[in-house]
Structure 1
Amino acid sequence: MLLAFELSGEHETLPKSEVLACLNALEIDYSVIYSLDQCLVIECKPFDKSLIKVLKNRLAMTHRIIEVIDICDAKEESIFRVVDILNLKPYIYLNSFVVRAKVKNCNIDTAYLERRIGAIIYKKGYRVDLENPDIYFRVIIIKDKCIFGILVDSIDRSQFEDRKPQKKPFFFPGVLMPKIARALVNLSQVKSGDILCDPFCGTAGILVEAMLIDIKVIGIDVQSKMVKGSKINLEYYNKSYSLPPTYVLIVGDACNIPLKAESISAIVTDLPYGISTKIFLKNKKDLYKESLKEIYRILKNNGLTVIVSNQLIEEKIIGFEIVEKHKQRVHKSLTRYIYILKKVL
């Protein structure tokens, strides 16, 4: 089975990495066929189709999931010929359809493409319905490739707007946006029912996004007011989504975490910087080094930790393999470095 993930363009590398991490977390056997600009095509071995719904509910940086019917050259005559000879009966099991296209880095008129392909399918005996179709055909053209398929599911990204920091019951400036927080959780490849820890939990932005995809969470912060605020936010979303209470909050020091060794499946955290670093330790370098030691101690063997930092931290990483590293420019005075680390020693 071929699947295409129509990625958001908000970051060059994170959307693709998030998809692959989710596939790994769900233990879906796959191989990458094409990695294109804002589109990832994979081939999957047979798997439970209900997992597509799980993917939809997890992903933050993907717009649509498409079952690929065919891939051809991005030339008009090639595209129309392929659609004309395809047997669409296995896909149009009802009657009505619509065609929607996305063209990127290619000089083809989108509206013309939709009309021509729609006309070809119409001649096969199917009815066009622009408002409420039974089947949604999706055409994606990126440079020299055309991907033709049917829409399997769309990701409701408006939910992340609803959970913006300013809209939460407890607000504190300088925190991660929900979309990036969810992507970070997914990058850890944490599985449903696993335990995820954020040792610098702040307002619980990461914990909320993990909790919403059935992850048990532990949040730690040295400031009692932040732990109280985290509880307010977690309780609010716990009730809003009718979820079981699967969180623990601790007032504690990330450099001396009160948890057993190798007790945590995944760790995701945004290391503090600026004013936020004025906690017990005298300087930020010590804070990073000592907290990374504790993160290593409590993480299970071969577990992943996702670290966000405003500075390069390679020299402080001991006992971890750097699996991936991403760079995100937030604004003129802030660049984030996102590390995915695997505990190997």
Structure 2
Amino acid sequence: MLYVEILGSLPEMARDEVRAMLELGGGKITGEDYLLLKVEADEKAYPFLDRLGLAHEYGELTIEADSVDELLKKADEVEWPIEGTFKVDTETMANCEHDVLDLPRKLGGVIHSKGFKVNLSKPDNLVRAYCGEKLYAGIRLRYFDPKDFERRKAHHRPFFRPISLHPRFSRALVNLTKAKREILDPFMGAGGILIEAGLLGLKVYGVDIRPEMVEGAETNLRNYGVRDYTLELGDATRLEELFPNKKFEAVATDPPYGTAATLAGRKRDELYRKALRSIYNVLEDGGRLAIAFPIEFDGKGEAEAVGFRTVGMYYQRVHKSLERYFYVFEKAR
């Protein structure tokens, strides 16, 4: 049994990202307690869970208990998968119903009594105890350092454009498509989504109608070590002409929201409608599209009119003048 601690900004989207990765890696979510997901999976799921964007960490879930006393009793009975030194760290979630003020010392004492050595500064193993409606303890396997994502934010890239998704959301969009081989971004801009997809080992395809964006996206991709890419200068509403006889496994994109300049002089809603139809035409049967639209555009209705099935829909308020939905659509087989 594993646990995944997801981020709290868009928890439904984060949960569905975990679910998508488990569908690829073999496994399922069996329960949840606030931001802690209980997951039934084995080591085959690790490479897919390692892809997560909207997660804090995941690890091996060792104990689940209804009280501190029960947790400590079970801690004395289980075989701890610890090699080397350890430290106990407690996460008190917003729905915590237990007194865990002294839990790190008590749990650490139980584990120490079984012959394991404590190292509070640089432990080989981090024992994580979570307090929610219940209590949980396990061994962290992977921590998603926010600094890694921060280093890929727009203002750190060699080709900089201020309007760009946070890398965590770019990665989540890629993962929600369940892509294993390749992905297309028909509104690639400076290449933020393609960077995240490329770092996951996917072959990336990008399209933009502005020459400076094609050049800039290539600069950014190469800066982050992404080499397996194809970038095209072209129109997102005419993808069939850019990629004749090509069907894509998945599409993830964040179309422009704003002015006539950013939309190449075209009306926004009409651009979105034509792009949805073109994406549908170049997507494999069963393939997924993950896309963001401003709240004023009926993304669900327009996509379903083209033939897509809605898989997910997640609301985000960015600021007072921008509210949007992230959507996940699937093309029927």
Q: Would you say same fold, with TM above 0.5?
A: yes
Aligned residues: 326
Counterparts of residues 168-207 of structure 1 (less than 5 Å): 168-191=157-180, 194-207=181-194
Residue 118 (1) aligns with residue 112 (2): no
Sequence identity (%): 33
* TM-score, length basis structure 2: 0.92
CA shift for structure 1 position 281: 6.0
Amino acid at match of 1:28: G
Structure 2 match to 1:52: 46
Structure 1 match to 2:249: 265
Amino acid at match of 1:179: R
Partner of residue 136 from structure 2, selected from 147, 164, 182: 147
* TM-score, length basis structure 1: 0.88
CA shift for structure 1 position 12: 2.5
1:42-63 residue CA offsets vs partner (Å, 9 max, x unmatched) = 112x553xx525532x112212
- Give the 3-state SS of the residue equivalent to 1:4 in structure 2: strand
Q: CA RMSD in A?
A: 1.9
In 2, the alpha carbon distance for the partners of 1:139 and 1:19 equals 21
1:102-130 residue CA offsets vs partner (Å, 9 max, x unmatched) = 12222545440111111222223332221
Counterparts of residues 18-167 of structure 1 (less than 5 Å): 18-24=17-23, 27-44=24-41, 46-48=42-44, 51-56=45-50, 58-73=51-66, 75-84=67-76, 86-88=77-79, 91-92=81-82, 94-104=83-93, 105-142=95-132, 144-167=133-156
Amino acid at match of 1:252: G
Amino acid at match of 2:161: F
Amino acid at match of 2:3: A
- Give the 3 Å change call, closer, same or farther, for CA 334–261 of structure 1 in structure 2: farther
In 1, the alpha carbon distance for the partners of 2:264 and 2:96 equals 56
CA shift for structure 1 position 82: 2.0
Contact kept? 1:262, 1:301, Cα under 8 Å? no
Structure 2 residue runs of 5 or longer lacking an equivalent are none
Contact kept? 1:222, 1:279, Cα under 8 Å? no
Amino acid at match of 1:131: S
